[in-house]
Every structure is written in structure tokens, then in C-alpha cells.
Amino acid sequence: HSKNTGKNQVRFYDEELEQSERRRHQLEDELSQAITNEEFLLYYQPQVDAEGTTILKAEVLLRWQHPRHGIVNPDEFIPHLEEYGLIIPVGKWILEESCRQLKVWHNAGKHELCLSINVSANQFKHPDFIEFIEICLIKHQISGEQIELELTEGVAIHDIPSTIKKMDRLQELGIRIALDDFGTGYSSLSYLKHLPINTLKIDQSFVQGLPHDGYDAAIVETTMVMAHHLGLTVVAEGVENRVQLAFLKKQQCHLYQGFLFSQPLNVDRFSELIL
């Protein structure tokens, strides 16, 4: 009798494994079809000055318009794009579509608007990355100064010299480089020392507790002082309320991004906001 139960359990376990395996395949299929079905779309979140009146830049944020589940946020599917190698084609689409849309806004009169585009470590490491960007800029008649790339320190983990070379080349094109989620990694300061960075994005986890949390306050204050010494531009992420804003203003933070000013917006709503 006990033998029998054991067998059943094994079979049950097999079926469960099989089922999760099927789900994996289904997700992989869905994600690769999402490219051809044009289910990916870009949202834009303003980065404003200290007065909150001028939109100087916008961060491009990926969304997936799933046929059954509606809009899916990137934290739920980007890890899978990475896993299946799909971040390379999707990343190319993001760069291409960002440049195309930026040109539309420039042509509509917003000549000063810049876009800040997230780039995953695998995308950055791809041998064609720089060439693809160069072609993209020429094709859409965008100058490098109008683009910023948001990288996390994951880009440099394996090979600092080749990372520096690539970043130098991007800067020759006029493209600025932002270190995203600053302070959350294992060696943010070491990367700051070695890599040619223009912008720090203070992670929202440090902005959240301002001004009452002593650790958040100390970390943000120190980061601001350091950034000023190093001539870096600082963007505060996740600014949700006026007390956080007041604290950041006192530290002379350069740019502010967060729900206090605007949620990430789809292309129509962002157009309405700026045009």
C-alpha cells in the first residue's frame, strides 16, 4: 500500500514539473510573439527641475500590453526576457522606438526634450550595442546629447576595462550615462570611481524615508555632497510628497522624478502634457 502511495506521489510530482515546464514554454512563446505582435509599448515619466515646472527629460519605461492580462509591468517580465535572450531584440526595439518618438516630439516643437533609456547589462555587453546606437541616432536624426542611458552597476561586473571603453565611446557620441538605482548595489562607490558616469539616480528606497529616517537622510545628503564635488548630475527617483521634495531641494538635487509630479504616461498622455 505504502509503495503505491509513493508511486502516485512521484507521478503527481512529475505532472507538476511538466506543468511548470509547459508554463515556461508558454511564457517564452508569448514573449517572443509579443515582439512580432507589437504588444510592447513605451511609457514616459517626466524628470522636472526644482520648481517642478519644466520637464527637462523623461525616462522611458517598458510595458507589455498582454492580450489577456492587460498592461504588465517590467519587473514581472524583464527577468524572463533576459532568461530567454529576448532582451537583445526587445532592447533594440526600445532604442529604436525611443529615438523615433523623440524625433516626433522635436518636430512638434519640443526641441530641448531628452530621453533617458534603461539598458540592461546583457544588452550593453552585446558586441553590436554601440554600432546599433550609432545607426539608430543617424537614422532618426537624433544627436547623442539628447539621449541618456541608464545602466546599473551590473554592466561592469565581469570586465571593467571593456565597459570603460564602451562608455567612453558613448560619451564621444555625446550620450550621457546615468548610474541607475545608485546605492543599492554591492560596490556603487567603486564603480563611480572607475567608470565615466555623468548622472546618479538616487534609488527610491533612499528617498522613501526622507526626511525622518536618519539613514535615508544621511545617505542622500552624503550622496549629494559627493556628486557636487565630482560634478555629477543627480536625479532623485520616487519623489512622492512635498517633504521629500523640500529635503532634496535643500541638498540642491538637480532633477526630480516621481508620482508627486507625474506617473509614467503613455505616449498620448505624455504628448498632451508637453505639447
Q: Which residue, 48 or 192, has its beta carbon nearer to ligand C2E?
A: 48
CA torsion 247-250-252-253 (nearest 10°) is: 10
Stretch that binds ligand C2E, among 25-33, 49-57, 187-195, 238-246 (CB under 6 A): 238-246
Q: How far is the CB of 225 from ligand C2E (least distance, A)?
A: 23
User: What region does 52 belong to: left with phi over 0, alpha with psi -120 to 50, or beta?
Assistant: left
CA-closest candidate to residue 74, choices 175, 180, 160, 147 = 180
When binding is defined by CB under 6 A, the residue of 32, 35, 66, 74 that contacts ligand C2E is: 74
- Which amino acid is located at 163 in the chain? T
Nearer to ligand C2E, 152 or 251 (CB): 152
What is the DSSP secondary structure assignment for residue 180, as one 8-state letter?
A: E
Site for ligand C2E in 40-69 (CB under 6 A): 45, 60-62
Do the strands 147-151 and 114-118 form a parallel or antiparallel pair, or are they unpaired? parallel
Give residues 3-42 in contact with ligand C2E (rule: CB under 6 A).
Answer: none
Give the type of residue at 235.
V
Question: Which range touches ligand C2E (CB under 6 A), out of 49-57, 107-115, 171-179, 253-261?
Answer: 253-261
**Residue 181 lies near ligand C2E (rule: CB under 6 A):** yes
Per CB under 5 A, residues contacting Mg ion are: 118, 150, 180-181, 237
